[in-house]
Homo-oligomer: A and B are copies of this chain.
């Protein structure tokens, strides 16, 4: 496995399972992680560690669906939590990845099937459908028009706000691999990570949603 997100994942895994990551090394066709079992010093864990200050306050959202309405809902929740000063992480996986695609990506080398996939899926936030009442694209245009009139931020503005508010946007590395989407095809400011990175974050949150 030559997953670029491997480092993030193994770090999260070690932090949460109480093991110590000594280092990660790139070998021939794999990564090697040096882990010291259970070596995290337990000092400092005393009677009252579970003080209110340590109750996790983060929010994590898995954005699985690439529908316009669900994308809007996700970013409204994320930005609301960020406005409360909470750390927020959004994981974009499967169809949710499409939300993060650039309008006009640079050319990248792809296999035939990856090219097909790339063409069939909506390229970026402006091409998303509605999960309901899509009506061949009339629905999304209607919703966008109404939201503009009602002074609700557009999806593109919500994404910008999220970045400015420090919301962490993570693209699922496995989905990128399966769908043949490269980092350069995603909008700027996106990290990549796998399931261990997600679980590591989620355990430090008190609200975890799958959208």
Of A62-70, A160-168, A181-189, the segment with at least 4 beta carbons within 8 Å of chain B is: A62-70
The reply on A33 being an interface residue by CB < 8 A is no
Copies, count: 3
Chain B residue at minimum C-beta to C-beta distance from A48: B47
B57 and A51 within 8 A (CB) = no
B52 and A49 within 8 A (CB) = yes
Minimum CB–CB distance from A48 to chain B (whole Å) comes to 5
Contact for A16 among B84, B142, B199, CB less than 8 A: B84
A207 and B196 within 8 A (CB) = no
The reply on A32 being an interface residue by CB < 8 A is no
Minimum CB–CB distance from A199 to chain B (whole Å) comes to 5
Q: Number of A interface residues, CB 8 Å?
A: 66
A70 and B64 within 8 A (CB) = yes
Chain B residue at minimum C-beta to C-beta distance from A66: B132
Chain B residue at minimum C-beta to C-beta distance from A116: B142
**What B residues does A17 contact at CB under 8 A?**
84-85
Minimum CB–CB distance from A17 to chain B (whole Å) comes to 5
The reply on A210 being an interface residue by CB < 8 A is yes
Q: Top 6 nearest A-B pairs by Cβ distance?
A: A80-B195, A209-B210, A50-B50, A202-B207, A47-B48, A207-B208
Q: Give complex CA distance A211, B196 in Å.
A: 18
The reply on A108 being an interface residue by CB < 8 A is no
A199 and B77 within 8 A (CB) = yes
| B-contact 0/1 string along A48-92, CB 8 Å cutoff | 111110011101001011100110010011001101111000000
**What B residues does A81 contact at CB under 8 A?**
199
The reply on A133 being an interface residue by CB < 8 A is yes
Contact for A195 among B13, B77, B194, CB less than 8 A: B77
The reply on A6 being an interface residue by CB < 8 A is no
Minimum CB–CB distance from A42 to chain B (whole Å) comes to 10
Chain B residue at minimum C-beta to C-beta distance from A195: B80
